[in-house]
Amino acid sequence: MAYKRILTIQDISCLGQCSLTVALPILSAGGMETCIIPSAILSTHTAGFTNYTFRDLTEDIPKIKYHWVAEDLKFDAIYTGYLGSAEQINDVKDIMHSVANDGCLNFVDPAMADNGNLYPAFDLDFVKEMKNLVKEGDFILPNLTEACFLTDIEYQENYDQEYIQNILDALITSSNQTVVLTGISYRAGKTGVVVYQNKKYDYYEHQLITKGCHGTGDVYSSAFVAAYLNGKTAIEAAKIAADYTVSCIKFTQDDKDHWYGVKFEPLLPELIEDIKK
């Protein structure tokens, strides 16, 4: 495999096993040069911690881009996660058009909502801008809630495949896009991921673990990107990422002191082995 250079743009929670502290090690373990643009720096993530520090780095993003353009630095893939504002979304779109190699792939995780609701920091104006960023993505990696906000389809907890198909069709804005839709459950005790590519629907079902863990969406998306850029097909990468995420949850769930994320690091060899198969 060629030595690829990937850029990932999202926040840094210095403690909390999410965003860049997940993406950087997982992508690096996948054998890629992993470069970052932090959108913000927080002492911890915002779920369960109090009195955390927060520094907005929006002003730095275009400055980094200008330097890279001046140095003629290019990337083989760009992967976006949590972005803090509409302004940052516009900066990211500019970056995608400024520092991409020919054939650069854009992976967009529209991290903004879950369980039927937007995260507290976001509103419908943010959703509107995220819809525009999603149009830039070769791969779109939403959960069901995010997909509903992106398509203006009412969120439902009970649904059938026709409902999911309508969402998938509404998400696709160009023929070269692939949707990887997570958290899709058609029967009790099970959940799964849908890959929709070239109008082909593939579904991978796996165990549903009812105990939620922070950062698992970031673990999943990062593992998917790592697997895909190592030559796996989209459905192969989706399976690898799902199995890895489930393993990380199981490895962590009995540790009551480790409530703020999943212990993904000890299982990186398992992910690498699956990617290299």
* pLDDT confidence band for 212 (50 / 70 / 90): confident
Query: For the domain that residue 256 is a member of, what is the CATH number?
Result: 3.40.1190.20
Q: Which of 139-148, 210-219, 239-248, 256-265 has the lowest mean pLDDT?
A: 210-219
The pLDDT confidence band at residue 2, using thresholds 50, 70 and 90, is confident
Structure tokens belonging to residue 266: 């000890």
Q: Quick: pLDDT tens for 169-178.
A: 999 998 899 9
pLDDT at 1 over 70: no
How confident is the model at residue 6, as a pLDDT? 98
3-state helix, strand, coil in the chain (%, to 5): 40, 25, 35
Asked whether the predicted pLDDT for residue 245 surpasses 90, the reply is: yes
The predicted structure's pLDDT at residue 63: 98
Instruction: Print the domain residue range for 102.
Output: 5-276
Model confidence pLDDT, tens digit, residues 31-86: 999 999 999 999 999 988 999 999 999 999 999 999 999 999 999 999 999 999 99
Number of domains in the chain: 1
86-121, pLDDT tens digit by residue?
999 999 999 999 999 999 999 999 999 999 999 988
Closest CA to 196 of 167, 219, 158, 220: 167
Q: 153: which residues sit within 8 A by CB, 6+ positions away?
A: 147, 166, 167, 170
> Is it the case that residue 221 has pLDDT exceeding 70?
yes
